[in-house]
Amino acid sequence: MRNYNLSDFDAVLAISRKGSFRSAALELGMSTSALSSAIAKMEAQLGVRLFNRTTRSVSLTDAGQRFVEQVTPALKDIHAALDTVRSQQGTPSGTLRINTFATAGREILSPLVLECLRRYPEIRIDVVTEGNLVDIVADGFDFGVRSKNLVPSDMIAIPLGPSRRYAVVATADYLAKNGTPELPSDLLSHACIRTRLPNAAIFRWQFEVDGQIVQIDVDGPITLDEASLARIAVFESLGIGFFMESDVIEDIEAGRLVRLLEDWSPALSPLCLYYPSRHNPPASFRVFVELARELARAQS
Q: Report the CATH number at residue 288.
A: 3.40.190.10
Last residue of a domain, one of 65, 86, 107: 86
If one counts the domains in the chain, the total is: 3
Tell me what pLDDT residue 209 has: 82
Parallel/antiparallel/unpaired status of strands 164-170 and 241-244: antiparallel
Strands (E), 5-93: 51-53, 58-60
Is residue 189 in some structural domain?
yes
For 53-94, write each residue's pLDDT tens digit. 877 788 899 988 998 899 888 888 887 777 777 666 668 998
How far apart, in whole angstroms, are the C-alpha atoms of residue 35 and residue 16?
13
Shared-domain flag, residues 74 and 113: no
Shared-domain flag, residues 188 and 244: yes
Last residue of a domain, one of 66, 86, 106: 86
* Prediction pTM value: 0.69
- When pLDDT is averaged across residues 91-109 and rounded to a whole number, the result is 91
The pLDDT-based confidence of 1 (bands split at 50, 70, 90) is very low
Last residue of a domain, one of 86, 121, 142: 86
Range of the domain at 262: 164-268
Tell me what pLDDT residue 291 has: 95
Is residue 263 in some structural domain?
yes
For 110-167, write each residue's pLDDT tens digit. 999 999 999 999 999 999 988 788 899 888 899 999 999 999 999 999 999 888 999 9
Is residue 104 in some structural domain?
yes
Tell me what pLDDT residue 182 has: 95
111-114, Cβ contacts within 8 angstroms, sequence gap of 24 or more: 111/295, 112/160, 112/273, 112/291, 112/292, 112/295
CATH number at residue 82: 1.10.10.10
Shared-domain flag, residues 228 and 280: no
Tell me what pLDDT residue 87 has: 62
Shared-domain flag, residues 172 and 143: no
Tell me what pLDDT residue 53 has: 85
- When pLDDT is averaged across residues 8-35 and rounded to a whole number, the result is 85
CATH number at residue 173: 3.40.190.290
Neighbours of 291 (CB within 10 A): 19
Contact criterion met (CB below 8 Å) for 162 and 268? no
Contact criterion met (CB below 8 Å) for 140 and 75? no
* HSE-up (13 A, CA, CB side) for residue 118: 8
Is residue 1 in some structural domain?
no
Tell me what pLDDT residue 300 has: 67
For 162-213, write each residue's pLDDT tens digit. 889 999 999 999 999 999 999 999 999 999 999 998 888 999 999 998 888 8
- When pLDDT is averaged across residues 15-38 and rounded to a whole number, the result is 85
Shared-domain flag, residues 81 and 10: yes
**Confidence check: pLDDT of 41 > 60:** yes
Tell me what pLDDT residue 197 has: 87
User: 118 or 20: whose pLDDT is higher?
Assistant: 118
Is residue 179 in some structural domain?
yes
Shared-domain flag, residues 128 and 78: no
Shared-domain flag, residues 170 and 226: yes
Is residue 291 in some structural domain?
yes
- Collapsed DSSP state (helix, strand, coil) of residue 67: helix
Mean pLDDT, the chain, integer = 89
Query: What region, left, alpha or beta, does residue 155 occupy, with left being phi > 0 and alpha being psi -120 to 50 degrees?
Result: beta
**Confidence check: pLDDT of 292 > 50:** yes
